Chains A and B, each alone.
Chain A
Amino acid sequence: MEFADTLNALVYLLNKGVLNAAKIGSIYALGAVGITLIFGILRFAHFAHGDMMTFGALSAFFGTLWLRQQGINIEPIPTGLLALPVAALVTVGLALLIDRSVYAHFRAQKSPPVVFVMTSIGVTFILQGVIRLIGGTGDRQFFFTLVENGERLREDKARLLFDFEWLSEHFDGFAQKIVITAPQLALFVFTAVALFGLHRFLTRTRLGKGMRAVSDNEDLARISGIDVGKVVLFTWIIGGTLAAIAGTLLAMDTQYKPILAFNLLLPMFAAAIMGGVGKPFGAVAGAFIVGLAETFAVFDWRVVYNFLVPDEMHAATALALVPAEYKLAVPFVILVLVLIWRPTGIFRGQVL
Chain B
Amino acid sequence: MSASKESAGPQPKEYQGKIQPGWREIPRGGMILQAGNAREFETGDWRVTRPVWIPENCIQCLFCWIYCPDAAVLLEDGKVIGFDYAHCKGCGICAHECPGKRGAKAIKMVAESEAEEASQA
A in complex with B: no
Residues of A within 8 A of B (CB): none
Residues of B within 8 A of A (CB): none
